[in-house]
Amino acid sequence: MTPTAAFDPGRTKLIYGWAADRYLRSLPLEHFMEATNHARQREITLESFALVRAVRPDVQVFNELLVQYPRVGEDPDKPGQVVPDNFVVIHPEPIDADTSFNLPLQPVGPFLVLEYVSKNSRRKDYEDNHQKYEHELKVPYYLLFYPDSEELSVFRMVGGKFTTLLPNESGRLAIPELEIEAGLLDGWVRYWFRGELLPLPDELLRQLNAAQNELSTTRVELSTAQNELSTTRVELSTTRIELTSTRDQLTTEQAARAAVEAELARLREELAKAKGESA
């Protein structure tokens, strides 16, 4: 029996680098032409997963990156090759992948592959790709979207085969490991993270503008309230001064009244005394 050759990372990197270069040189011109709806969906996916990564750094998304992998029973110097529109890996450390994602040199493989098939997309053989994801790469999840007909499917690897996911109670297709749900909204695949719709930049801008307008209104209302409070304080101060003046006036009047009463009492005493002496 021929002994199995030890894995040589350096040699593998070199061989896979050559393979990636050959693949790039072999691409026809139409590969670099992309339908508008195809590009828009990739944009939505990248923008959405950027928000996910801000909360979960282990969720990393790649855009049209060549994936190379060994094929069972095939020449190890001729890796399998496929370019998903997007794919996601789950790994806590940054993934080092420049011109290609070489599976033997990576800590993990693609966890979710996403492809968008437009009637104007002639760059890929999507049926062939489906076979590669299912039988060769054995990707845990595969999202397939047809923008022209607004058809969305998500497949999950079960027992070595893809099975179609059914919508959950919210009518969306859930990928629990990513805490993500996918669903159609206004004709595009949108994503929900932990139950909340992931907003797009234009939506975030509208929310920001609305928040800024609300803040501006609140500041005006606060300024008005502060002015009213200042006026009330001035009025209260004036009232206190008036009350103090009134108290002082009352005190003066009371003192005068007491003096008059005392003088009257003294005069009465003198009058009574004078009457007693005359008698």
How far apart CA 70 and CA 78 sit, in angstroms, is: 8
Specify the pLDDT at position 257: 83
Specify the pLDDT at position 68: 95
Q: Going residue by residue through the chain (279 aa), what tens digit of pLDDT does each one get?
A: 344 567 788 888 888 888 888 887 877 656 666 778 888 999 999 999 999 999 999 999 999 999 999 998 888 889 999 999 999 999 999 999 988 999 999 999 999 999 999 876 655 677 788 999 999 999 999 999 999 999 999 999 999 999 999 999 999 999 999 999 999 999 999 999 999 999 998 877 777 777 777 777 778 787 778 888 888 888 888 888 888 888 888 788 787 788 878 877 888 887 778 777 776
How far apart CA 144 and CA 154 sit, in angstroms, is: 6
Query: What region, left, alpha or beta, does residue 95 occupy, with left being phi > 0 and alpha being psi -120 to 50 degrees?
Result: beta
pLDDT digits (tens, 9 = 90+) for 178-212: 999 999 999 999 999 999 999 998 877 777 777 77
Burial degree of 120 (CB within 10 A; 0-12, 13-18, 19+): middle
Of all helices (H) and strands (E), which one includes residue 192? strand 188-193
**Residue 105 token pair:** 């040199």
Report pTM: 0.75
Specify the pLDDT at position 225: 80
How far apart CA 42 and CA 144 sit, in angstroms, is: 12
pLDDT digits (tens, 9 = 90+) for 210-245: 777 777 777 878 777 888 888 888 888 888 888 888
Specify the pLDDT at position 32: 62
Specify the pLDDT at position 212: 78
